[in-house]
């Protein structure tokens, strides 16, 4: 009989890797036995965007474990110590690790955890009445009482442009890609006569900056298109950062669906913008190139939606709409980088157990306070798939350890790692002490 694990973790991005680190002491003590199944052959964090000087957007304390257990052997500081980088990091005096460094840190942790199985894509999940039965791409079967689904988000591609990405570039001189695959195609893009970046977030800005810096050596025409009214910076002020807190997540989850959806549109600048430093670095680079006489052949346009596109045999012909002037216009480009973000999906492998999962009216997971999504409660948990319920906390590395502490408490029935109830100075919603209960004055 196949062994029944206490849980199977599906996918090994930073969030389930953090869970593997935090549950390792429980696995060693025999309290909680989990196994993690990852499709890739080794840990790799956004390999297409590991640009040399890119850093994390959150401080190093947002590592896999520290916010839950500062004494953990899996901390970023311990990785620095073991890899001999602690003093250089100390001298560097920056809270923000390089993205490459974070990727290496996660691999350092993953390679030391016996609970991880690489090269296993989960293809099917069933329930045999007693446990979940997970089948992998190798035909192996894992049984477990619970699941933790941490498969991350998938590149979002505008429907009207999907055919351009699906077409195999083959011997085409041109290339269209999502920013998730940027580094794999960087050199090819630089050999083209024209490149266009579409998007308003950090990835779009990083790709544009990278191509702009190389443009004097290659001479391509570089265009940056965004639907946003401006190239807006991410907001980092401290009282706003307090919204990345357990109590804001709990408050947001209690709001009506329509209100949450309105907030998702209105809160874009909180976590979908560009770091202020990078916005300025792009402007400064323009100035330097202009002074050095290498004024780049580049165009930056806001308020512009890409409404269609086709391959015309030698380039991509894009249909554009200016959302303020109402004008329709177009652009031909040989290279196209869609930095159009990522979206969570309900994976097909869960279809056989669909009836055990709670869904909201939009077909998304209906996520409970403890991140479980199953009708029974406490059987199927999700990581980074709850932005529509818990808001901007979902993809934030700084909240990964907190979410894992909640999930571990739900699986063990005890608070193995303290779960903070309140961290913000402000109150979200009506403060209890100001709530009016006397019907005579309510609503006055
Ligand atoms: C370029 C980039 C930079 C970012 N930088 C930051 C930052 O600095 N700070 C921050 O707070 N957030 C950042 N984010 C947001 C977020 O933290 C990251 O996206 C993070 O990687 C999400 O982690 P995850 O564990 O949800 O999933 P992912 O990292 O997406 O990992 C999911 C894993 O699941 C595996 N998988 C998928 N399907 C299956 C399957 N069927 N079977 C088995 N395995 C499967 C995949 O191979 C993958 O390894 C960044 C996002 C991007 C794209």
Q: What is the CATH number of the domain that holds 216?
A: 3.50.50.60
163 & 276 share domain: yes
> What pLDDT is attached to residue 301?
97
Report which protein residue has its CA nearest ligand 1's atom 45: 11
- Residue from 200, 100, 233 nearest 208 by CA: 200
86 & 175 share domain: no
Number of domains, the chain: 2
> What pLDDT is attached to residue 345?
84
CA 129 to chain centre: 34
- Residue from 108, 287, 278 nearest 209 by CA: 278
What is the best residue among 19, 43, 46 to mutate for testing ligand 1's pocket, by most ligand atoms within 8 Å of CB? 46
Which element (helix H / strand E) includes 415? none
The DSSP code for 228 is S
Say if ligand 1 is within 6 A of residue 383 CB: yes
Say if ligand 1 is within 6 A of residue 403 CB: no
Tokens of 251: 């408050």
Say if ligand 1 is within 6 A of residue 7 CB: no
> What pLDDT is attached to residue 170?
56
Asked if residue 251 is part of any domain, the answer here is no
Asked if residue 245 is part of any domain, the answer here is no
Helix (H, G, I), strand (E, B) or coil at 21: helix
- 384 CA: nearest ligand 1 atom: 26
HSE-CB for 101 with a 13 A CA cutoff: 22
Say if ligand 1 is within 6 A of residue 13 CB: yes
Query: Is 310 within 8 Å of 316 (Cβ atoms)?
Result: yes
Q: How many CB atoms lie within 10 A of CB 344?
A: 21
147 & 178 share domain: no
- 55 CA: nearest ligand 1 atom: 8
Task: Provide the residue range defining the domain that includes 310.
Answer: 157-234+272-338
- Residue from 133, 89, 149, 115 nearest 35 by CA: 115
210 & 315 share domain: yes
Token pair 């199927």: residue: 380
Burial class (CB in 10 A: 0-12, 13-18, 19+), 441: exposed
Say if ligand 1 is within 6 A of residue 411 CB: no
HSE-CB for 36 with a 13 A CA cutoff: 29
Tokens of 123: 């293809």
Q: How many CB atoms lie within 10 A of CB 24?
A: 21
Which element (helix H / strand E) includes 125? strand 122-127
> What pLDDT is attached to residue 436?
83
Asked if residue 300 is part of any domain, the answer here is yes
Distance CA 306, CA 228 (A): 12
Instruction: Give distance in angstroms: CA of 380 to centre of ligand 1.
Output: 19
Which element (helix H / strand E) includes 381? strand 380-382
Asked if residue 419 is part of any domain, the answer here is no
Which element (helix H / strand E) includes 258? helix 257-266
293 & 334 share domain: yes
131 & 190 share domain: no
Asked if residue 330 is part of any domain, the answer here is yes
Question: Whole-structure pTM over 0.85, yes or no?
Answer: yes
276 & 326 share domain: yes
Query: Is 86 within 8 Å of 77 (Cβ atoms)?
Result: yes
Instruction: Give distance in angstroms: CA of 108 to centre of ligand 1.
Output: 17
Say if ligand 1 is within 6 A of residue 23 CB: no
- 45 CA: nearest ligand 1 atom: 29
Residue after which a domain boundary falls, among 299, 318, 338: 338
> What pLDDT is attached to residue 443?
53
Asked if residue 429 is part of any domain, the answer here is no
- How far is the CA of 263 from the CAs of 58, 156, 241, in angstroms? 22, 20, 16
276 & 369 share domain: no
175 & 314 share domain: yes
One pLDDT digit (tens) per residue for the chain, 444 residues: 679 999 999 999 999 999 999 999 999 999 999 999 999 999 999 999 999 999 999 999 999 999 999 999 999 999 999 999 999 999 999 999 999 999 999 999 999 999 999 999 999 999 999 999 999 999 999 999 999 999 999 999 999 999 888 665 555 668 999 999 999 999 999 999 999 999 999 999 999 999 999 999 999 999 999 999 999 898 889 999 999 999 999 999 999 999 999 999 888 777 788 999 999 999 999 999 989 887 778 999 999 999 999 988 889 999 999 999 999 999 999 999 999 999 988 899 999 999 999 999 999 999 999 999 999 999 999 999 999 999 999 999 999 999 999 999 999 999 999 999 899 999 999 999 998 877 676 555
54 & 194 share domain: no
> What pLDDT is attached to residue 1?
64
Asked if residue 257 is part of any domain, the answer here is no
229 & 295 share domain: yes
10 & 83 share domain: yes
């Amino acid at each position: 009989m196949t062994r029944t694990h206490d849980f199977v973790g599906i996918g090994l991005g930073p969030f389930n890797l953090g869970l593997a680190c935090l549950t390792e002491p429980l696995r060693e003590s025999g309290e909680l036995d989990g196994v993690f199944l990852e499709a890739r052959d080794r840990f790799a964090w956004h390999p297409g965007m590991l640009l040399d000087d890119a850093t994390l957007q959150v401080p190093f304390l947002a590592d896999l474990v520290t916010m839950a257990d500062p004494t953990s052997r899996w901390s970023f500081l311990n990785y620095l110590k073991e890899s001999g980088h602690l003093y250089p990091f100390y001298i560097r005096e920056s809270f923000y690790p390089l993205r490459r460094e974070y990727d290496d840190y996660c691999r350092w942790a993953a390679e030391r955890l016996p609970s991880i199985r690489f090269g296993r894509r989960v293809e099917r999940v069933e329930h045999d009445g007693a446990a979940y039965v997970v089948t992998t791409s190798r035909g192996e079967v894992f049984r477990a009482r619970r699941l933790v689904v941490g498969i991350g988000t998938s590149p979002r591609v505008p429907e009207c442009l999907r055919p351009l990405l699906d077409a195999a570039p083959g011997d085409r001189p041109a290339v269209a890609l999502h920013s998730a695959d940027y580094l794999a195609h960087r050199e090819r893009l630089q050999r083209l006569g024209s490149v266009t970046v579409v998007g308003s977030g950090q990835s779009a800005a990083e790709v544009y900056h990278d191509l702009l810096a190389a443009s004097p050596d290659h001479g391509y025409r570089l265009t940056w298109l965004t639907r946003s009214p401006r190239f807006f910076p991410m907001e980092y002020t401290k009282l706003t950062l307090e919204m990345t807190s357990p109590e804001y997540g709990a408050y947001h989850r209690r709001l009506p669906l329509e209100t949450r959806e309105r907030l998702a549109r209105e809160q874009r600048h909180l976590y979908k913008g560009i770091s202020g430093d990078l916005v300025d670095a792009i402007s400064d680079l323009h100035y330097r190139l202009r002074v050095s006489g290498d004024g780049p052949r580049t165009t930056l346009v806001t308020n512009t939606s890409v409404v269609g596109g086709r391959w015309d045999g030698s380039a991509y012909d894009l249909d554009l709409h200016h959302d303020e002037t109402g004008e329709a216009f177009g652009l031909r480009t040989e290279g196209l980088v869609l930095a159009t973000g990522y979206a969570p999906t309900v994976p097909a492998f869960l279809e056989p157990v669909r009836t055990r999962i709670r869904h909201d009216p939009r077909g998304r997971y209906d996520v409970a306070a403890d991140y479980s999504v199953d009708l029974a409660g406490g059987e199927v948990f999700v990581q980074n798939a709850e932005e529509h319920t818990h808001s901007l906390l979902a993809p934030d590395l700084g909240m990964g350890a907190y979410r894992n502490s909640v999930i571990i408490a739900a699986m063990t029935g005890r608070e193995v790692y303290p779960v903070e109830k309140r961290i913000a100075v402000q109150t979200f919603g009506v403060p209890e002490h100001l709530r009016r209960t006397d019907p005579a004055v309510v609503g006055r």
